[in-house]
Amino acid sequence: MPTPTAIADLPRYDTIRAADVEPAITVAIAAHRAGLAALLALDGPGFATLVEPLEELNHALSRAWAPAEHLNSVLEQEGLREAYNACRMALADYNAEVGQNEALYRKLETVRERESATLGAEQKRLLDHLLRDFRLAGVALPPDRKARFRQLMQDLAREQSRFDENVLDATGAWSRQVSDEAELAGLPPLVVARAAATARDKGLQGWLFLLDQPNYSAVLAHADSAALRREFYEAWTTRASDRGPFGGRFDNGEVMERILAIRHETAGLLGFGSFAELSLATKMASSPDEVLSFIRELATSYVPAARREFAELEAFAGRALAAWDVGYYAEKLREQRHSVSQEALRPWFPLPRVLDGLFTLAQRLYGICITARPDVPTWHEDAHYYAIADEAGRELGGFYIDLHSRPGKRGGAWMGECIGRKRLGDSAAAPVAHLVCNFTPPVDGQPALLTHSDVVTLFHEFGHGLHHLLTRVDYPSLAGINGVPWDAVELPSQFMEQFAWLPEVLPLVSAHVETGEPLPTEMLARLMGSRSFHAGLVAARQLEFALFDFLLHTSYAPGRVGQTAEALAAARAEVAVVQPPEFNRFAHSFMHVFSGGYAAGYYSYKWAEVLSADAFSLFVEQGVFDREVAQRFLDCILSRGGSRDAMEAFVEFRGRRPDVHPLLWQDGVATPAAA
């Protein structure tokens, strides 16, 4: 077992400053370089004398970088962005240097050949992954092309940082002050109260709305003023572009072109016909044709359903709907049909109750105990630390949570690695994760109140966290989500979402904030009945994103301008149901694809959703809290990390290959053959 995570082992987030970042990373890189030189000087490489020490070196470097990477995403601190960017560039260059080290590559090959008969399956997989990654880093390229590859990695790191910064700055630059109370008609009281508090903090009259996800979603879904909805929609969908209120000021247009050109050239250097082919070298899907067929096959079920839903919505509204009207009338129709509203549910989902119920669920499924550790220092008053232990009381690791939106914090929700699990000889480390969301903060002394959609998001990120924390793999490169194909990495998170919809689970996470009463039975039933509401429209939008991403990275041609807009238009023509206005510049803030890990991989969400719905169907068959099934999921999926082929692991759990029908059934979408 890894050693318990002592407070001294955790980052001192209360004392880390921007000025500390560059010196720490400089020292970490130097230590890694020196350690690598010592390994290369040894004669007769073996798994224990070369591979395991290399894992140790990589773990130490990753552990040094994780706090800086995390703080850059959640904290606004003078000088931090500059320090982060400088270190990101240095690491990109150093990682390329290591990845092209022929002497190290040859020694690893020697270990694989000499010890093949005695290595375990996990050790062989680790070596295979290492050798593959060296090849994908250009180790076999001639010197001039190696140098070009390293330069491209630096350029890519710089441009992706610039993309993120432009989105963050564009988001933070816009706000909307409201002085006429009539404009607030329809908005939830919690949202209005938060805007009033924001205005007071700024010394302004009336109400001030920042451009963050909670405010944007609330205005689009609830504001009676179509003009206000349009204003927010335009500000949101033109962020970091040539259009909108700050058109040209934070424009990512040229940044996107450079990112695409770098990716395409990198793929070409490595012998791939497109970046999409390079992307699939580490995924479950085997070819671009397979991915495109997958997307289009799902579209045959979801797009017709989405068209029916949209036609019904326009009939309900009594007019043609613009993009900024859809959420508003959809919420009205949901309320009429299911008598349930996301905002009306908030009082039943106070954050402390949701967390207690979520932790209780994890204990019932996997026998783990989660305990708050208020003595652990964090980076912000919103952040907290929890320790996680097994049934015998042995500490397995821990996680930080930071769940509220605030200025300077990156939007969205994610799980990030703080410390990876390892057990190498006498050296051990327990895993630690960061779980980050952007929920509406507490207002007027109440605890934060979540919508049910927020609850689903929290379950999703917690699922990623369990994947990281419950791993039993000893080698850091294969532990947790490491080494897992990107189109399988969403399986545990989307699997965990399923529990947030169950009548057996909802009472665990709900209790009225004032009375403590459970969610009324009839309200629970209405909520469950609304699960497949507009599932077609939701899926069609995800397929639009996935098809755009994949078309862009499959067909990119160097030197031809306007390809991003062309790919987006082609995707929309094929699968989109709600056509956006001309000024929409969604791609300019699509961080998943342009600066995150989902380039030529956004299809992974739907791919893993098929896996998760099918995996969860076994719980439906056997029982929601069935410990035997939960133990199988833990043994086959959560604990295995990247130590086994993802499809083999799924088949071991489910007893067969994945079936798309549980997902279609869950969403209330019939296949054409079944219609």
Q: Which residues are catalytic?
A: 461
In contact, 330 and 313? CB cutoff 8 Å: yes
Q: How far is CA 569 from CA 247, 274, 297, 473, 553, in A?
A: 21, 20, 20, 44, 14
In angstroms, the CA 53 to CA 273 distance is: 36
For 312-341, give the DSSP string. Answer: HHHHHHTS---HHHHHHHHHHHHHHHHS--
State whether residue 436 is helix, strand or coil.
Answer: strand
Distance CA(9)–CA(328), nearest Å, equals: 48
**Rounded-to-integer distance, Cα 221 and Cα 331, Å:** 6
H or E element, residue 245: none
Distance CA 549, CA 291 (A): 11
Distance of CA 635 to the CA centre of its chain: 23
Calpha distance 469→476 (Å, rounded):
12
Q: Are 109 and 140 in contact (CB under 8 A)?
A: no
Q: What token pair was written down for 587?
A: 């791609």
The DSSP string of 36-100 is HHHHHTSSS--IIIIIHHHHHHHHHHHHHHHHHHHHHHH---TTHHHHHHHHHHHHHHHHHHHHT
Q: Is the dihedral of CA 214, 218, 219, 221 positive or negative?
A: positive
Residue 359: CB atoms within 10 Å: 20
Contact (Cβ atoms closer than 8 angstroms) between residue 509 and residue 349 = yes
